Chains A and B, each alone.
Chain A
Amino acid sequence: MSLKDKLHVIKQRYAGTKMAPAFNALHTFLYTPNEVTHNGTHVKAVDDLKRTMNTVIIALVPCLIFGMYNAGYQHYLAQGAIDKASGFLGASFWTVDNLIIGAWTILPLVVVSYGVGLAVEFLFAVIKGHEVEEGYLVTGMLVPLIVPVDIPLWMLAVAVIFGVVIGKEVFGGTGMNILNPALTIRAFLFFAYPTWMSGDKVWVHGAVERDQMIAAGATNLDAMSGETILGAYAQNKTLAYDYWDMFWGIIPGSVGETSKFLIIIGALFLIFTKIGSWRIIVSTLIGALAMGLIFNAVVDAGIISDTSKFYGLMSVPFWQHLIIGSILFGAVYMATDPVSAAQTNKGKWIYGFLIGFISIMIRVFNPAYPEGVFLAILLMNVFAPTIDHYVVQGNVKQRMKRLKVKTA
């Protein structure tokens, strides 16, 4: 008996039982089911939710792999063990040593994110008797990419449980949630464990540990620094990196968001495959540029002096906002989540624009926690249904007007 037939027999055995959704989730992972259409359209297009989610994961894989190398690279660089890499293909970047450190620290994040998140999903599917939906496949991949590399695993596990249960399952599961689950998880970490989510230590593997050792009396060690670009700007410091470093992504930051180059490639892939909404991506970037231009104008007009604590980030040329921080990652992978985003095409333009606009506003005005992208997206998630409501009302009004013209 072939594997296919064996699985079919097991499926029949589980059919109707509590565990059926759990088995089906694993089964459909191997084989698309033998389900046929009934009345309605007798044929169907090939795309399903698994394929859609899988496409997003494909677009994220380069960011994950780069993140592993970068974690190792930042670690050794901060220790002073290696030289600074020159550019994307720099010799000291793509080394096995870097990859080993990176994989050692990041793979556990991936495993915990998927393990805990999927366990919660399976649990809910079995209790509520619905199929396991694929939403978490992408969320589980996003989560390790948007946290600091050294985040303790138990914190991540707690946050994932919170995010999946409160962010998604209480609303009815995939497709029903209001907030982006991955960002709900990040927001939980951010507010519950702020010391692990900001500052100039957490972004480089080993830096926190090194500090603790120094505090414990180790005298032969130097502190490791791993300040992000935004952190430096927010404190009006001079930068240790040039624009190309930022673009290629060989800078400290959350695991997967540093390489703007790979994010752009991922964005092009998502737009080409028609899985990601180009409207949201483009409008988010436009919104960010618009806010950047406004701040530049404020600086140019001399309204703000260079002693102000806002001066550093306000005076950043507007286009550079796109390559510092994680606005690009947010625009491409987070804002485009179809469930929590605006659902009408017109609404997507407004939604994206406001995300970009507010992101840069928070970035500039909140020097303590300088990255505002995730807050801006969560905020607009909440307003997305309102935006859609007004867009749809526009269509409804047209219909009413047609009626009025007729009856008048």
Chain B
Amino acid sequence: MSKDIRIKKGLDIKLVGAAQKELKNAAAGQFYTIRPEDFHSIIPKLVAREGTKVKAGETLFYNKSIEAMKFVAPVSGEVVEVVRGPRRRVDAIRILADSAQEAINHGAFNLSGATPGDLKEHLLASGCWPFIKQRPYDVVADPAKEPKAIFISAYATAPLAADLDFTLAGKEAELQAAVTALGMLTTGKVHIGVGKNANSPLSNLSGVEKHLVSGPHPSGNVGTLINKIDPINKGETVWTVAAQDLVIMGELLLTGIFNPERTVALAGSAVSSPRYFKTKIGAPLSTFIYDDGVEKGANHRIISGNVLSGKQVGEEGVLDFYSNVVTAIPEGDDYEFFGWNKPVFDKISSSRALTFSWLQPKKKYDLDTNTNGEHRAFVVTGIYEDVFPLDMYPMQLLKACMYNDLDEMEALGMYEVAPEDFALTEFICVSKQPHQSIIRTGLDLMLKEIG
């Protein structure tokens, strides 16, 4: 039975610089980079050493603990550099792209004749597996585990998020192939959340459980979907896939080619004409951000991902493995005279303490990266609950993570959450605590101690 989801607790952060619905092709980049840090907790075992020629879809490295799980090249070319960090950790693999692109063709995959085992093997070998993430722990899914359900959110509510109705339009065939395949991997259901008033390309897929979602952010977060539909209990696993990654997965199944092409929104107030670009995973951002968009060398921050949970990458950065939005906002590294007590009209606030964002709920704000205050101990209570729709106590859970109490973390619902679920509480935090990294550290501890 499909269940509609209406979220009341939350906060829509409205920012200037949403991408216009206008699609351009990004220029082909010279170097493409894959960063193993995108795959949290996975230790890479390098296959393609410096100097190796690879085709698109050929293995670059695999997961040290699960050898079958391959991570592949987005383009064909030569591995020119393996950037290593402390203790010879692989930080990045750079590929000099060939001018004529070649890709490995696995051949179309016949879903109707395949067993779940065959399918898993295919996804693992072709490099599509890392698109499947699991909870608990918010890491790449463990293929040995049986998920009780698979969740996909096709409703983007994060600030300046790419409009999935636009970026995925016309991809119904790939989407359908991917969700049919995912359906084979679970004994439970494949749940898809689509916006209530949206015209989503995912709303007419068959073999899935569709949920109409409405309400402020984080109603589009997959964590919210899970919590409201089928919350995770101890010992259970669910898998999640981002809607845009279904396309790559579906294309692989239909054509046999790993095509890392993705429609990405370039947004934010530091972008003069925000719009959508067609580019590839691992592509250098310089191939599209300067193109009448971002002023080169200005005092701004380039984020691969959205302003709440994205990664700061800089102008020289690359599109990471999971993001479908690149955001550019001004840096806020300046002092503000009496910023703590004067009335504020141009910033968002969850209170009304001489802050007036409550007067203009529709206004779009141009926020910078200033913290608007210093880091403090937790003092104010009761504010996090107002933007946190999951059925748990956010501050108590954060504190449990801070003092590393595994029993308490487990009891308070740690298995159900991912760092992004705490993005809004971090945004409004009066004490400027780094909620997401506290949760990430807590999840890592649990992963290590409990597994």
Contact = CB atoms under 8 A, between A and B. Distances in A.
A29 B370 CA distance: 16
Interface string A31-57: 111111111111111111111101100
A35 B428 contact: no
A49 B431 contact: yes
B432 interface: yes
A344 to B, nearest CB: 6
B379 A49 contact: yes
A42 B331 CA distance: 9
B352 interface: yes
A49 B373 contact: yes
Interface residues of A, number: 63
Contact of A273 (B337, B339, B352, B432): B352
A43 B427 contact: yes
A284 B234 CA distance: 39
Contacts of A29: 340
Nearest to A28: B374
A10 to B, nearest CB: 13
B367 interface: yes
Contact of B437 (A7, A40, A273, A392): A40
Interface in B343-386: 344, 347-355, 357, 367-383, 385
A37 B376 contact: no
Nearest to B312: A39
A403 interface: yes
Nearest to A402: B233
Interface stretch (B196-204, B209-217, B288-296, B390-398): B390-398
A158 interface: no
A272 interface: yes
A48 B370 contact: no
Interface stretch (B64-72, B108-116, B178-186, B301-309): B301-309
A40 B159 CA distance: 14
Contacts of B18: none
Interface stretch (A85-93, A172-180, A253-261): A172-180
Given A39-B437, A42-B301, A44-B371, A51 B411 contact: no
Contacts of A13: none
A174 B312 contact: no
Interface in A361-398: 388, 392, 395-396, 398
Nearest to B413: A399
A199 interface: no
B403 interface: no
B344 A46 contact: yes
B22 interface: no
Contacts of A348: 382
A48 B372 contact: yes
Which of B329, B391, B393, B412 has the most A CB atoms < 10 Å from its CB? Answer: B393
Given A35-B370, A37-B369, A395 B382 contact: no
A403 B234 contact: yes
A237 interface: no
Contact of A42 (B329, B337, B340, B354): B329
A32 B373 contact: yes
Interface stretch (A181-189, A308-316, A335-343): A335-343
B378 A43 contact: no
Nearest to A55: B353
A41 B13 CA distance: 12
B436 interface: yes
Contact of A402 (B231, B333, B336, B352): B231
B335 A8 contact: yes
B contact residues, range: 35 or more
A55 B379 CA distance: 15
Given A275-B353, A344-B393, A402-B233, A42 B303 contact: yes
Contacts of A30: 337-338
Contacts of B377: 133, 172-176
B376 A41 contact: no
Contacts of B411: 396, 399-400
A33 B308 contact: no
B341 interface: yes
Contacts of A35: 333, 370-371, 374
A277 interface: yes
B436 A40 contact: yes
A135 interface: yes
A133 B374 CA distance: 9
A135 B193 CA distance: 44
A37 to B, nearest CB: 5
A175 B376 contact: yes
Given A47-B353, A274-B353, A338 B376 contact: no
B266 interface: no
A42 B369 contact: yes
A388 B393 CA distance: 11
B427 A50 contact: no
A273 B329 contact: no
B314 to A, nearest CB: 12
Nearest to A8: B335
Interface in B214-265: 231, 233-236
B379 A175 contact: yes
Contacts of B423: 40-41
A276 B77 CA distance: 61
A212 interface: no
Contacts of B13: 43
Contact of A41 (B308, B338, B344): B308
B430 interface: yes
A174 B378 CA distance: 9
Which of A24, A36, A44, A345 has the most B CB atoms < 10 Å from its CB? Answer: A44
Which of B159, B331, B339, B391 has the most A CB atoms < 10 Å from its CB? Answer: B339
A39 to B, nearest CB: 6
B311 interface: yes
B310 interface: yes
B369 A36 contact: yes
Contacts of A32: 335-336, 339-340, 370, 372-373
B373 A277 contact: no
B428 A45 contact: yes
A43 B355 contact: no
Contact of A52 (B367, B375, B380): B380
A51 B338 CA distance: 10
B10 interface: no
B381 A46 contact: no
A45 B379 contact: no
Contact of B333 (A4, A36, A388, A400): A36
A35 B432 CA distance: 11
B29 interface: no
Given A46-B372, A48-B372, A174-B376, A343 B381 contact: yes
Nearest to B311: A39
B166 to A, nearest CB: 24
A4 B427 contact: no
A103 B88 CA distance: 69
A34 B344 contact: no
A108 B405 CA distance: 47
Contacts of B308: 41-43
A200 interface: no
Interface string B426-450: 1111111011110000000000000
B344 A43 contact: no
A87 to B, nearest CB: 31
5 contacts: A32-B340, A39-B437, A41-B423, A46-B349, A395-B391
* Nearest 6 pairs of A and B residues by beta carbon: A48-B373, A175-B377, A32-B339, A50-B340, A31-B335, A46-B347
